Amino acid sequence: MMYKLKVAVVGATGYTGLDLVYLLSKHPNVKLTNLCATKNLGKKISFYDKRIKKKLPLISSINSIDWKNLDLVFLSLPNGEAQKIIKKNYKKNKNLKYIDLSADFRIENHKIYTRNYKLNHKAKDLIKNSLYSISEFNKNKIKNFKIIANPGCYPTSILIPLIPVLKKNLINNKDITIDSKSGYSGAGKNFKKKFKHKNLFSSAYAYSVNNHRHTCEIDQEIYRQTKKKIIYSFNPHLLPTFRGMLSSIYIKTKKNVKPETIRSVLLHFYKNSKFIKILKLNSQIGSGNVINTNNCEISICKTKIRNKIVIFSAIDNLMKGAAGQAVQNMNLIYNFSEKAGLK
């Protein structure tokens, strides 16, 4: 009989948590042992999500977890909570691994974390045991870490198309504009408290133009992957759609670098990546094709300005931008099929 990982999901009833539970409930190598939340304890998870048909543990408190009898914990919580939980339980089980979907372990420098998230880091000594993991960049490293920091949705949509191009030194690093648009689910179930603009469900909204907190994550990973610093503007927008994300990256290529070259570099870099889809040159693109999938679709388009092109990148912010990538990271850690639970 095939051994199944004993897995807990903490924060199981948020938007990302529910997608996680749904994916894991269909995963052939997973046994869900705990679905933790703070409200509606004792209820079925289908109380929140009718997609989940499988008989699963009832919603329970985190205090019900037997930490010594687990293989993996997914933490889908507000920033600041995962670090406290991991620190408290880290030594209880030396084989237990954590995949954290908040920002708690994404930033290597705890001072930069505090500056951007206005929280003092409660587990500074454990940051060295964590790995920031966009799955496609860490297939060989990920098994060596106990704590996996799942990336933010905006950085995922930006770093996947940008890093291979920066590595090849094909573009002007000082002339980049990034315009990203996301469904409102990216702000979590309390999005109405975060966004109070007029006609929330029927209007687009630009916010955090000067310094969105994900920029420190983008800066860190670009330098870590390419040893380059770039100068760019990043402009996030909220759309009146539940899920989906489209990033438009405006770049100036170096002399004689054609859009075909950019596409060829991305095709080669992601030739063995199951979820990265490079479209034909100048393809029209939106988030519609990637909704409810773990795919990232990329289109390279010419503009009427010489040496200026746009790279479009579409993901589902709750899937490749959160729960789907978390499951993909789990698959890599345990040598499962990379697509397991994600078809």
Cβ atoms of residues 126 and 107 within 8 Å:
no
Tokens of 13: 């009833």
Extract the runs of DSSP E, i.e. beta strands, from the chain: 5-10, 30-36, 59-60, 72-75, 97-100, 130-132, 147-149, 176-183, 205-206, 232-239, 245-252, 276-278, 296-302, 308-315
What is the C-alpha separation between 214 and 116, in angstroms, rounded?
8
Please give the Cα distance from 140 to 204 (Å, whole number). 40
> Catalytic residue among 36, 153, 216, 296, which?
153
Nearest to 340 by CA among 52, 100, 5: 5
Q: In what order do the strands lie in the sheet with 232-239?
A: 205-206, 232-239, 176-183, 245-252, 308-315, 296-302, 276-278
Dig out the tokens for 162 from the structure: 């940008």
- Residue pointed to by tokens 């670098």: 257
- Residue 118 tokens, joined: 């206005």
Helix residue ranges per DSSP H, the chain: 15-25, 81-89, 110-117, 153-167, 191-194, 215-226, 259-269, 324-333
Token pair listed for 25: 């409930």
Instruction: List for the chain the helix, strand, coil content (%; round to 5).
Output: 35, 20, 45
- Is residue 153 flagged as an active site residue? yes
- Residues marked as catalytic: 153
